[in-house]
Amino acid sequence: MKRITTIPLLCITMVLASCNNKYAAQPASAPPATFPVSQLKNMTVTDYQQYPSTIEGIVNSDVRAKTSGYIQKVLVDEGQKVHKGQILFKLETQSLSQDAGAAKARINVAQVEVDKLVPLVEKNIISPVQLQTAKANLAQAKANYSSVSANIGYATIRSSVDGYVGAINFREGALISPTDETPLTTVSDISKVYAFFNLNETQYLDFLQKAAGKNLKEKLANYPPINLILANGSMYPEKGKIQTSSGQVNRTTGTVSFRAIFDNPNQLITNGNSGSIQIPTIYENAIVVPQEATFEQQGKIMIFKLGEENKVTSSIIKIKASIDNLYVVDSGLDAADKIVVAGVGKLKDDMEITAKTVSFEEVTKPIAILFKN
């Protein structure tokens, strides 16, 4: 009788099944985490610093009386455009006309006296001294008449410049005189305007060091155009130019004063306006990085570079300027470097990553302003 042995076969089957289950329980190793990486590029970026400013017309002519009198007529209105020589005010001249008539009469009397004495002196009837006295009286009478006539002319008050009339401080019937502290009005030429602003000592030294030129005059001439931010926050459409600087630190304020000039073709701004001067600093062919790509460690700004075998290494960078969402790098990076641009808080040195390349233009574009106060 033939016997069939089944136990060894069962054991072999169980062993093979156990081996298969062992290998099936071990999952494949996960790939390295993915991080966005970008190739650095040199860029030209502009930083702006703002300084409070006051605005004035290029000419501000105070209109004042040259003689005392009552205002008879005000011939212009506030804000009106006027021309050089245009009549602005007229003073009452009745009393001055009477004075002029009296002065003219005194000239006639003095002239008669001189005419009477001339032949008497020629005939040696009277002393020449009497004639000289009479001639002196005639000269004095003529001088008095000239003075009164000038005052009559001064009663017509004209603009000395082309421009726009400011606030009118005196109206019809007001008594005015040359000694009044307050002018009748001010006529301003605002075809161009001056913007006055100040830098403190540190800002002034930075300005001098960054501007191109051998001296202050050359630095001002070479400086790029500047912007004016109006009181409502809008950008004034015309570019300006820094013209002059005091070049000296005021001991009281600790600042250095500057004057810029702007065209004002539409008279959008005028005397008394305020705003902010926006001064550019241009960084040409600079290395910039998004601030999101950096982290701080022990007071130092650091970044992760991508190296061989897709491993990252931290590196210290020095910052020259901060512009919007970017850092302008002074040292620590080269244009040939590739950097991790986001998620740096999850990285550590020598960590292998899966690099996902993103365009440098995409990661360095300005952050959109969603809300504005």
Listing DSSP states for 294-326 in one string gives EEEETTEEEEEEE-GGGBEEEEE-EEEEEETTE
Arithmetic mean of pLDDT, 325-353: 93
Predicted confidence (pLDDT) per residue in 88-100, tens digit:
999 986 666 566 6
Predicted confidence (pLDDT) per residue in 106-117, tens digit:
777 778 777 877
The fraction of the chain above a pLDDT of 70, given in percent, is: 86
Is the predicted pLDDT of residue 373 greater than 50, yes or no?
no
Strands (E), 231-273: 240-245, 255-263
Report the pLDDT value the prediction gives residue 119, as an integer from 0 to 100: 81
CA distance 240 to 223: 11
Report the pLDDT value the prediction gives residue 372, as an integer from 0 to 100: 41
Is the predicted pLDDT of residue 368 greater than 80, yes or no?
no
Domain 65-185 grouped into CATH 2.102.10.10: no
Bigger pLDDT: 152 or 154? 154
In the structure encoding, which two tokens stand for residue 260, read together? 């810029």
Handedness of CA 299, 305, 308, 312 (dihedral sign): positive
Arithmetic mean of pLDDT, 234-253: 94
H or E element that contains 132: helix 128-154
* pLDDT band for position 4 (cuts 50, 70, 90): very low
Query: Which residues of the chain are in CATH 2.40.420.20 domains?
Result: 34-45+285-364
Query: Which residues of the chain are in CATH 2.40.30.170 domains?
Result: 49-58+189-283
Predicted confidence (pLDDT) per residue in 156-208, tens digit:
899 999 999 999 999 999 999 999 999 999 999 999 999 999 999 999 998 88
Query: Mean pLDDT in the chain?
Result: 85
The fraction of the chain above a pLDDT of 90, given in percent, is: 59
Predicted confidence (pLDDT) per residue in 20-73, tens digit:
554 455 555 778 999 999 999 999 998 889 999 999 999 999 999 988 889 999
Q: How far is CA 127 from CA 16, 121, 180, in A?
A: 162, 6, 50
Is the predicted pLDDT of residue 16 greater than 80, yes or no?
no
Bigger pLDDT: 245 or 144? 245
Which CATH code, of 3.40.1080.10, 2.40.50.140, 3.30.460.10, 2.40.420.20, is assigned to 34-45+285-364? 2.40.420.20
CA distance 78 to 93: 25
Whether the predicted model's global pTM rises above the 0.85 cut:
no
CATH topology of domain 49-58+189-283: Elongation Factor Tu (Ef-tu); domain 3 (2.40.30)
Nearest alpha-carbon partner for 64 in 136, 132, 130, 154: 154
Report the pLDDT value the prediction gives residue 149, as an integer from 0 to 100: 65
Candidate from 72-76, 122-126, 310-314 with smallest mean pLDDT: 122-126
